Chains A and B, each alone.
Chain A
Amino acid sequence: MGGLLAGVLLVGVLGSAGYVYYLDRMVTHRFEGLRWTLPARVYAAPLDLYAGLDLSQPQLEHELQRLSYHQVSDLQQPGSYRVSGDRVDIDLRPARFADGSRPAMGLSVAFGPAGIADMRDAAGREVPVTRLDPLLIGSIFPSDGVDRIVVTPQQVPPLLPAALKAVEDRTFDTNWGVDPMGILRAAWVDLRSHRIEEGASTLTQQLVRSYFLSNRQTFGRKIREAIMAVALTEHFSKADLMNAYINEIFLGQDGNRSIHGFGLASEFYFGRPLSELDLPQIATLVAIVRGPTYYDPRRYPLRTLARRNLVLKILAQQGVVTRAQARAAARRPLGVTQGASGAYYPSYLDLVRRTLQRDYPEKELTEAGLRIYTSLQPRVQALAERALDSHLQALDKWHHRSGEKLEGAVVVTSPQSGDVLAIVGGRDADFDGFNRALDAHRSIGSLVKPFIYLTALETGRYTAATVVQDQAVSIKLSNGRYWRPHNYTRRTYGPVPLVRALGDSLNLATVGVGMDLGLGKVTGTLRRFGLKQTPDQVPAMLLGAIDISPFQVAQLYNGLANGGFRTPLRAVQAVVSVDGKPLKAFPVQVTQVAPAADVYQVDSMMEQVITHGTGVPALRILPPGLVTAGKTGTSSQDRDSWFAGFSGGDLAVVWVGYDHYQPTGLTGSEGALPVWAHLMTSLGTPSLEMPAPEGVTPTWIDYLTGMGAPPGCPGAQPVQVALPTGTQVPPMPGCAGGTTVGTVLERAGQWLHRLVH
């Protein structure tokens, strides 16, 4: 009997010893190999500063604030700036770019009437050009949502571990991973105050819980946690455990993204690196550790503030800081940044993710700590979001159609480089959902017309002054039926010059030209400019029966804004490994896809869209004198309202419509155009200044007749278009300055002849 009991005991002891041994090995093994998976970090384009840049002092300060630089009276640490007179002195943080890194440096920027006048470093040497830090705009985290920034012990302000020990685990430096006295003390304190003020778990136990165990609260788990904490303490240094704790622990939730580690929490709550945090900010993070949901400083600021001040009190009691320091810190506000994530651009990140999915498996993006440098310009993104949202809100008041919300999308590019500066996927730009900029494939309507007219010019048989007939057409389709398109106004306009046919978006004239050219030729032009699909070869294609996304429209129009050079749009510029090695670059590419002279002529006609045609409402919004070119688009029954246009520096495509294809009752001029014009205005974009290629001559013609009509010609609407040098236009009757008669009328006659025969 006694033997049996001894045997059971022996088995029990051996079994327990075996279990302890197993846990010990497991913990040691896993902790030795501890390597956090690091989501890819995504950065916006850094702003280059140089003497001559048209950037005002308040604008620079705004950019610095976007990067969470704070204004001080004495520069003492990176991440701050000082304003003195017309000079801004910046203590730049160390920064990593796609092509290398820059150490922390002092930079003194002097302003003049035209922007930045002079830049010097701390030693007074002239700096010709330097960059601000790239703004972190997001990360590509795995489906479990775990996001973190890993910091080294050198990047941790010494106050943080001291505060963690004082508040969470006073015997951390000497205990065995568990602290029985601490448990008793915590129970006593909690009992006395009837609330939970002190935790019973050591930092090591919290680390074990977070890294190894599920969150189920069972007695067995408590035992296992204690054994594993002791094992960790046995095998690893306290410094290693503290560093692991700082990088591992959960500190907040942002939608489906969970914030782990103090490095990320610092960026998430304060928008700055951990090394720059001051006492009240560190105390806030230490307060959050106790319960990131309960002490969410954005949702429960008062509760969090009280807890932070309690932390400060404990720090003073424990001698970590002086009482005076704690009192001063307690008077400070929480100071967390607005918006759950500071800068969060789901639509743009969506494009980044899709670009990289071609080259990188999901695991590499979410785990390998890649650094991804993009073309996003946060300022442009913010302005695009605002332009769309404010105009749609205004339209909501007038257009209560189906009870459904009017939606929209915006794409902004820099035409020369093809850089995608901004992507707005819907009016709720913070919502990571249906990305209309990329996924709403909608009928482009009259946006197709410039490509038809470019095709016409390329034949050499048409110019902007060529008179074509806007008249009823009836085209027999392959199914035996007849297609009878009409103009938006349901009127016909008779003989009109090409510039007016495009400017007023006349469907019948366009169909006539398009049928003369052939659908195949027009399709060829679209494909040269970057259309991926081949549209159905039906005449309705000439009126834009082509369903593509705003992003694809931006690719097509980028070539028009770019003198006939196709430049693939790019969101990602470079990918760099976790240790700074360049992995992949997406360089600028250019291919000439149309003669510059022909594109120049089309662009000069597209300028008239805005000065005389369907784009005229933009003039009420655009700054006086700003030269832009563009085209409205309206699909059948007003389901889609488009505007695509460009200045000398920016291209923007705007779509407005309902997700479920109900008619909006809005033309391109009413829905999309105002968004575009407000955006262009707020951007401060430069005028369109195309280099005039050889072989074309700017010429004044009458918008209505195409006859030569210099400015001031009575009864005419003179517009300036580019015509092939040597083109003869008949003068408008009663106008001086026209050129030789004949050619255009002859050409029109020939065209009519071909149409009839």
Chain B
Amino acid sequence: MKMLAGALALGGLLAGCSLLSPPQGMGGYPQPQERTVPAARAPGPNGEAPASQPVPFQGAPAQPPAPAAPMQRQFTLGPAATALVGEAHAQERTRNFGLAAQTLERALSIEPGNPLVWIELGRENILAGNPTQAYGMGRKALYLASGDPHTQARAWQLIAASLREQGRNSAAYAAEERAAALSQN
């Protein structure tokens, strides 16, 4: 029964999977750039650093003072993470929640800073009956989704679902309001 309620609450989250539009313009200061294809750790023969070093986002004295305007962007999942999320969904359908979590953790090791992976992992935790963990992952996703209202809305939906599972209905309602407000933008 509780599981069903959780699954229903997740409807909105799953619907959010369609947020796959091209990234919008970025600019300005030190906002992190989402990486659809992450610069993952590159093992090196005998440990040399890879030829291409990551480009710093700051510290160049020629940079003008940062503009305060908030930056808009949109997270997407790269192909590898998309494949793993799909695999996890299939595992969930056969109620293999433990396996699904491990599959999503593979996606996490590929794109650790992508809030969409954290939302998936949180969603999986609700299905597996761990709403407290799901809440933490919702907060983490919200933190990482800075500048992406669509993903922030989905993070709030996850937070709302996790709160509802814990019986914290008024807090859940407030979270849903936040999600709705962001979705309207």
**What per-residue 1/0 map shows which CB atoms of B73-87 lie under 8 Å from chain A?**
000001110111000
- Any B CB within 8 A of the CB of A14: no
| Residues of chain A from 606 to 633 with CB closer than 8 A to chain B in the complex | 611, 623-627
> Which of A51, A582, A590, A711: most chain B CB closer than 10 A?
A590
**A51-B79, A582-B99, A689-B30 in contact; A589/B133 too (CB < 8 A)?**
yes
**A54-B52, A98-B102, A725-B68 in contact; A63/B43 too (CB < 8 A)?**
yes
A699 to B68, CA, bound (A): 10
Q: Is the CB of B110 within 8 A of A48?
A: yes
**Which residue from chain A places its CB closest to the CB of B38 in the assembled complex?**
A52
Q: Is the interface of A mostly helix, strand, loop or mixed?
A: loop
Q: Is the CB of B140 within 8 A of A623?
A: no
Q: Is the CB of A382 within 8 A of B47?
A: yes
**What per-residue 1/0 map shows which CB atoms of B105-127 lie under 8 Å from chain A?**
11011101100001001000000
The stretch of B5-13, B56-64, B162-170, B174-182 in contact with A is: B56-64
| Cβ distance A377 to chain B, nearest Cβ, rounded Å | 7
Residues of A within 8 A of B42 (CB): 53-56, 59, 115, 684
Size range of the interface on A? 35 or more
- Any B CB within 8 A of the CB of A284: no
Q: Is the CB of B54 within 8 A of A626?
A: yes
Size range of the interface on B? 35 or more
Q: Is the CB of A565 within 8 A of B66?
A: no
| Cβ distance A61 to chain B, nearest Cβ, rounded Å | 7
Residues of B within 8 A of A694 (CB): 70, 146
Q: Is the CB of A596 within 8 A of B143?
A: yes
Q: Is the CB of B109 within 8 A of A62?
A: no
Residues of A within 8 A of B109 (CB): 45, 48, 414, 417, 419
A99 to B99, CA, bound (A): 6
Residues of B within 8 A of A54 (CB): 39-40, 42, 50, 52
| Residues of chain B from 12 to 64 with CB closer than 8 A to chain A in the complex | 29-33, 37-59, 61-64
Q: Is the CB of B102 within 8 A of A684?
A: no
Q: Is the CB of A687 within 8 A of B55?
A: yes
| Cβ distance A99 to chain B, nearest Cβ, rounded Å | 4
Residues of A within 8 A of B133 (CB): 587, 589-590
| Cβ distance B31 to chain A, nearest Cβ, rounded Å | 6
Residues of A within 8 A of B54 (CB): 625-626, 648, 685-687
- Any A CB within 8 A of the CB of B129: no
| Cβ distance A110 to chain B, nearest Cβ, rounded Å | 15
A686 to B45, CA, bound (A): 18
| Cβ distance A310 to chain B, nearest Cβ, rounded Å | 38
| Residues of chain A from 532 to 585 with CB closer than 8 A to chain B in the complex | 563-565, 573-574, 582, 585
A98 to B105, CA, bound (A): 12
Q: Is the CB of B146 within 8 A of A692?
A: yes
A682 to B102, CA, bound (A): 29
A611 to B58, CA, bound (A): 11
Q: Is the CB of A689 within 8 A of B57?
A: yes
A426 to B16, CA, bound (A): 49
The total number of A-B Cβ pairs within 8 Å is: 207
A55 to B45, CA, bound (A): 10
| Residues of chain A from 47 to 92 with CB closer than 8 A to chain B in the complex | 47-48, 50-56, 58-59, 61-63
Q: Is the interface of B mostly helix, strand, loop or mixed?
A: loop
**A56-B50, A589-B136 in contact; A649/B102 too (CB < 8 A)?**
no
Residues of B within 8 A of A128 (CB): 79-80, 82-83
Q: Is the CB of A625 within 8 A of B56?
A: yes
> Which of A55, A582, A623, A720: most chain B CB closer than 10 A?
A720
Q: Is the CB of B65 within 8 A of A710?
A: yes
A564 to B31, CA, bound (A): 18
A683 to B49, CA, bound (A): 6
- Any B CB within 8 A of the CB of A592: yes
| Cβ distance B133 to chain A, nearest Cβ, rounded Å | 6
Residues of A within 8 A of B82 (CB): 128
Residues of A within 8 A of B48 (CB): 682
**A416-B108, A712-B61 in contact; A52/B79 too (CB < 8 A)?**
yes
| Cβ distance A576 to chain B, nearest Cβ, rounded Å | 11
**Which residue from chain B places its CB closest to the CB of A708 in the assembled complex?**
B65
**A417-B108, A417-B112 in contact; A563/B143 too (CB < 8 A)?**
yes
A555 to B58, CA, bound (A): 27
**Which residue from chain B places its CB closest to the CB of A718 in the assembled complex?**
B61
| Cβ distance A4 to chain B, nearest Cβ, rounded Å | 76
List 6 contacting pairs A-B, 8 Å CB cutoff, sorted by A: A59-B44, A99-B99, A114-B52, A129-B80, A625-B53, A694-B146
Q: Which B residues form the contact surface with A (CB < 8 A)?
A: 29-33, 37-59, 61-66, 68, 70, 78-80, 82-84, 98-99, 101-103, 105-106, 108-110, 112-113, 118, 121, 133, 136-137, 139-140, 143-147
Known: A687-B54, A737-B65. 18 other contacts (CB 8 A): A47-B43, A48-B80, A52-B38, A61-B45, A62-B45, A128-B83, A129-B80, A563-B143, A589-B136, A624-B53, A684-B53, A691-B146, A692-B29, A692-B146, A692-B147, A699-B65, A710-B64, A725-B68
The 3 residue pairs across chains A and B that have the minimum distance between CB atoms:
A50-B80, A52-B37, A128-B83
